[in-house]
Amino acid sequence: MWEKNGRYDILAWVMTLVSKSGRQTHEIWFNPETGDQATRCPWLRKLPKREAYVCRIHDMKPSRCRDWRPGSRSVAAEIGCRGFDP
């Protein structure tokens, strides 16, 4: 998806590992400058002057994020998650 959409800024944070058999696996998020695994998601941004956060790659976020749903609509509203959006 990221390659198809030219999102090399996102792909830069993906580490590709190749096993001895040649099988590739991809791990997120690794700092492209240091190679270190990020301690928090690099795409999470706090909204100015608010206790709310947004995902800067909402339409391109990884499947594990797309598949996650908060437990209730009130929790979703509280954390600014769009998991209950139609």
Q: Please give the residue ranges that form the binding site for ligand SF4 (CB under 6 A).
A: 41, 43-44, 55, 57, 61-62, 65
Least CB distance to ligand SF4 at residue 64 (A):
7
**Cβ atoms 81, 70 nearer than 8 A:** yes
Q: What are the strands, taking DSSP E only, across the chain? A: 14-18, 24-28, 44-46, 53-55
Least CB distance to ligand SF4 at residue 38 (A):
10
DSSP 36: P
Cβ proximity to ligand SF4, 14 vs 65, nearer residue: 65
How many Å separate Cα 24 from the centre of its chain?
20
Cβ proximity to ligand SF4, 21 vs 63, nearer residue: 63
